[in-house]
Structure formats: C-alpha cells, structure tokens
C-alpha cells in the first residue's frame, strides 16, 4: 500500500444486522446511533427511510395515505434494508408487530428489544410531537395500552436490554455490545 493511501475505513464489527425494537420513546434512534458508532457500523432508521421513499414525513404519511399504507411501506423498507450489509437498524415501534417482518428479522439479523417503563416512555415522547399515534388521546393511556399489546411480542427478540430512566446511553450501548458478543453477532476480535 502506498504511503499516501487513505486510511482504511474503520472495520465494521458486525456479522449480522442489529435490529432495535421497542416502543416509541425507548431510545431506539438515540441508542442506535451510538451503538453504530461504537461498532464502526452504518446506522439506518426505518422511519427515515420510509419518509424518504414517500417524499414526506411520517405524520404526513399517516394523515394523507393512512396507517395501512405506512405499515406496507414499513414492511417493504425493512425487508430491503435487511439485504444490505450488516448495520444497526432502528425500527418504528410497530414494525416488529408485523409477523412477516419478525420472520425476516429472525432469519437474517439479531433483534434487540430496548425495554423501558411507562413513565420513561411518556417523559421521552413528550419532547416531540411527531408521533401520530400519540395524538389520538392521552399519550400515557395510549402508551400503556401499546405496552400491554406489544410487550409479549417484543419479548420474542433475541436480546432484551432495559433502558432505565437516567441510565447514560453509554451504559446501554455497553450492555448491548456485551450481549451481541455473547450472541455471536460480532466478528472475532471485535
């Protein structure tokens, strides 16, 4: 290699794509970005990819095309992303509820449920008004109902990590990395 060749890109530590699942406010995007950085891996967010494909943001998709169209797009986008080289993929809270998506994730990736308590979810989701499902009533009631509906399915994820209130993101990232190593999802030496 020439002395002037650019430094090789940091090697991605992942053998498989890591799919983050969990409710709105669990920290999938924030933790996902940091996890990707720690692993030298690309980061993708399924909501962003759907918005890009549709040419409008998520609330506009819900408002103009409806939730069913959003869910179709979500399934398609995640299926496509799972064919990409290993990366960290933050999914929207409803994505893992789709049986076809769950099967595709199980077949080709490793899933991580970021679990948080109701108070934490309510507090974190109150910071932004970009979640159409939470505009339909009292966010705490809606989140409590979604917890009851979805937690049994999120529990099918390969790895479960608690995202406690006040826990620094670094400690959540460290626990995910350790669990990925135990699950054989990291390259040797990573």
Query: Contact positions toward ligand S3P, by CB under 6 A?
Result: 24, 28, 47, 58, 92-94, 131-133
- Least Å distance, CB 8 to ligand S3P, is 33
Question: Which H or E run contains 174?
Answer: helix 169-182
Shortest Å, Cβ 5 to ligand S3P: 40
What minimum distance in Å lies between the beta carbon of 17 and ligand S3P?
17
Could you tell me which residues come within 8 angstroms of residue 169 by beta carbon, excluding any fewer than 6 positions away? 27, 30, 31, 34
Task: Provide the 8-state DSSP code for 9.
Answer: P
Residues paired with residue 14 on neighbouring β-strands, in sequence order = 186
Comparing CB distances to ligand S3P, the nearer of 61 and 177 is 61
Nearest to residue 158, comparing CAs of 99, 116, 113?
Answer: 113
Query: Are the C-beta atoms of 175 and 161 separated by less than 8 Å?
Result: yes
Give 39 or 150: the residue with its C-beta nearer to ligand S3P: 150
Of 87, 9, 81, the closest CA to residue 47 belongs to 81
Q: Which two tokens stand for residue 78?
A: 């995640």
Of 24 and 31, which CB lies nearer to ligand S3P in the complex structure? Answer: 24
Q: In this complex, which beta carbon is closest to ligand S3P, that of residue 108 or of residue 132?
A: 132
Provide, rounded to whole angstroms, the least separation between the CB of residue 21 and ligand S3P.
9
- Shortest distance, position 89 Cβ to ligand S3P, whole Å: 12
- Which residue's CB is nearer to ligand S3P, number 58 or number 89? 58
The answer to whether residues 85 and 15 touch, using CB atoms and an 8 Å cutoff, is: no
- What is the number of the residue whose Cβ is closest to ligand S3P? 92
Q: What are phi and psi of 44, to 5 degrees?
A: -130, 150
């Amino acid at each position: 290699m020439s002395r002037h060749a650019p430094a090789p890109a940091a090697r991605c530590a992942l053998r498989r794509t890591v799919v983050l699942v969990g409710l709105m406010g669990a920290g999938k995007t924030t933790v996902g970005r940091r996890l990707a950085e720690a692993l030298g891996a690309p980061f993708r967010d399924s909501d962003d990819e759907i918005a890009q494909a549709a040419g409008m943001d998520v609330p506009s998709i819900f408002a103009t095309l409806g939730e069913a169209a959003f869910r179709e797009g979500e399934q398609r986008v995640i299926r496509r992303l799972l064919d990409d080289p290993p990366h960290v993929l933050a999914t929207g809270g409803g994505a893992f509820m789709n049986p076809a998506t769950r099967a595709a994730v199980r077949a080709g990736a490793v899933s991580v449920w970021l679990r948080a308590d109701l108070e934490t979810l309510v507090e974190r989701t109150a910071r932004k008004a970009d979640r159409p499902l939470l505009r339909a009533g009292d966010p705490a009631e809606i989140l409590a109902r979604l917890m009851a509906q979805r937690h049994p399915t999120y529990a099918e994820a390969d790895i479960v990590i608690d995202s406690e209130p006040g826990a620094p993101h670094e400690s959540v990232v460290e626990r995910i990395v350790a669990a990925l190593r135990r699950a054989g999802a990291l390259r040797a030496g990573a």
